[in-house]
Chains A and B, each alone.
Chain A
Amino acid sequence: MSTVTPQVDLTPEQRAALVKKSSSAGRAASIARKKATSPIASGIAVLLAVLWTIPTFGLLLSSIRPEKAIKTTGWWTFFSDPQVTLDNYRTVLSTEGASGLGSFFINSIVITIPAVLIPICLAALAAYAFAWIDFRGRNFLFVLVFALQIVPLQVALLPLLTMYVKAGIGGTFWTLWLSHSAFALPLAIFILHNFMKEIPKELIEAARMDGAGHVKIFFRVMLPLLTPALAAFGIFQFLWVWNDLLVAITFASDNTVLPLTAALANLSGTRGTAWHLLSAGAFISIIVPVAVFISLQRYFVRGLLAGGLKG
């Protein structure tokens, strides 16, 4: 290993540890260096930060302006003529009426929770088997699961849709739960396996000496040690499913099942000028992942570093 740069074959734990270690060292070094940042450099940094923030800010500000004001004047007129209303949010949050997005919000929650829990549990068990149980065909199966990571999910959609319809569950939540779980498994197993391999062999062997079976070791020894890795992957999968559009509109066509992203995409396509609904709706969909990001930033970055190759 030449450097301590993040690489895809490191576990999230290793990566986080490296990032943490090196960042504190780097910070100490840069303080020691007392490097004089030039005004030009600071200027460019501020410019980039403003460019990156202003589009979101404009839409956020619009979401609290009255419909008529949004449609006739730019959001920057807010500063000379501030008009504030919560009507847009009221309309968008209602579960009734054509423009209510409340029920889609519920759908997103109903889709996401099982689609996160199922693959994590199954992957943890599979990763344990790959890491610590000896059985015939283990290497073959592991290579198979590893290789499946590169399959783009587009390749699976058409035949899966046919299968779901044949099985009589077409268009239900089940199709989304099952699809998201299956698509998540190769990466989840790979990440958790790498993590489990790092746990000292002696720990497992000692437990086996004491007569503990694999089931017991999994629950008593592994799970407590695995919590940070599970959290990192869980957050990554949560955002993936919450933000997904393709899988949702492929398998669900009915408003009773479609998630918020699909409802917003429809609204943006059919009523391109309904900015009072689009702005408020977009913010309701953004709030959840941003809250997750802010409260669990440490795990979030870890999950991202680990999951960059998913898809």
Chain B
Amino acid sequence: MDISTKLLTMLLAILLFVAIVGLMLFIAGWTERRSASFVGYVFLFPSILMVSVGLLYPAVRTIFQSFFDAAGKAFVGLDNYHTIFTSPDDLLVLRNTVLWVVVTPFVATAIGLLYAILVDGARGEAFAKALIFLPMAISMVAASIIWKFVYEFRPDQAGVKQIGLLNQVVVWLGGSPQQWIVNSPWNTFFLIVVMIWIQAGFAMTILSAAIKAIPDDIIEAARLDGVTAIGMFRFVTLPSIRPSLIVVLTTIGIGTLKVFDIVRTMTGGNFNTNVVANEFYTQSFRASNQGLGSALAVLLFVLVMPIVVYNIRQLRASEAR
């Protein structure tokens, strides 16, 4: 397919879509005179159809498939789940995922919060924030390439120069270069750094808005009482931004649970760095193990759910106050 064919296909798709919406609106306008509520169904029809066929049915189907074998033919009960929680490979995947989910949200949020406090009201605040925020806008694939270059390793031989910044710094400090993304178990942490690099900007943006929203009279009152900077943080800032902190932590936690691009691009899940979302992809689409792949997808779903429920509950609680 050459470029013009592709662009034409796209144009055709858009025109087809416009025609469908046009037809819908025509039907809606035509039936409106008889029954206003029928218009509701017409407006909703395409969306409900798409989420039913594209999300609801496949989700139910995946749960069903997770009780079947690799080919999706024979019923195997809970065997796939049993495999996930007993096979050494999958236990490693689970361990890594726990590491990701425990480390990333807290470190990213701590850095975001620290930075938000430090640049609050400073000169050039908007620019300073943009620097931290930009990684949020780029793809995780590009972020992984950027960091892979930082971690790049060249053998420690005479005449061979390091081209990765981290190893060069190590050499400058008198150490010997390391294969950061190969050496287990620390390599997982070097991958986690990439996610922290991306998510700190998100944490900073939301927490900065929350900090600025703390009413001035509270801050003034505390100041008149002679509260120290640390006391101010502990007794004024932290309680005031608590709801936002929870939103940030849980949102980053959910994103981290589903982290796929970073692991895939940096190690492909090798060197003991595999995580659930990458193992799901490998089993489903590379190893053709439908049953295990589905079970891993369901596991992700089950792990995400309590975080979301907690998040919603916290929001309710903070609203009731």
Contacts and interface: CB of A to CB of B under 8 A. Distances in A.
B149 A158 contact: no
Contact of B14 (A117, A153, A159): A117
Nearest to B50: A182
Interface string B179-214: 000000000000000000100101001100111111
A106 B241 CA distance: 43
B121 A158 contact: no
A264 B145 contact: yes
Contacts of A151: 55, 59, 301
B137 A52 contact: no
Nearest to B212: A26
A52 B51 contact: no
Contact of B39 (A53, A214, A243): A214
B292 to A, nearest CB: 11
B158 interface: no
Contacts of A117: 14, 17
Interface in A20-50: 22-23, 25-27, 29-31, 33, 35, 37, 41-42, 44-45, 48-49
Interface in A224-242: 239, 242
B142 A286 contact: yes
A91 interface: no
B71 interface: no
Contact of B58 (A22, A42, A156): A156
Interface string B277-308: 10011001100001001101110110011001
A29 B33 CA distance: 56
Given A141-B44, A150-B305, A245-B139, A179 B213 contact: no
Given A56-B146, A134-B37, A185 B137 contact: no
Contacts, number: 378
A186 B55 contact: yes
A282 B150 CA distance: 14
A223 interface: no
Given A185-B51, A304-B205, A72 B161 contact: yes
A159 B142 contact: no
Question: A-side binding surface: helix, strand, loop or mixed?
Answer: helix
A126 B40 CA distance: 8
B209 A22 contact: yes
Interface in B111-168: 111, 114-115, 118-122, 128, 130-142, 144-150, 152, 161-165, 168
Contact of B54 (A7, A30, A183, A216): A183
Contact of B9 (A70, A71, A110, A129): A110
Given A52-B131, A114-B17, A243-B141, 4 more contacts: A26-B121, A160-B58, A182-B51, A189-B47
Instruction: Please name the 8 residue pairs, one residue from A and one from B, whose CB atoms are nearest each other, closest first.
Output: A182-B54, A30-B121, A26-B212, A243-B139, A133-B40, A135-B40, A135-B37, A129-B43
9 contacts: A44-B114, A72-B163, A76-B168, A152-B304, A154-B280, A182-B51, A182-B53, A243-B138, A290-B134
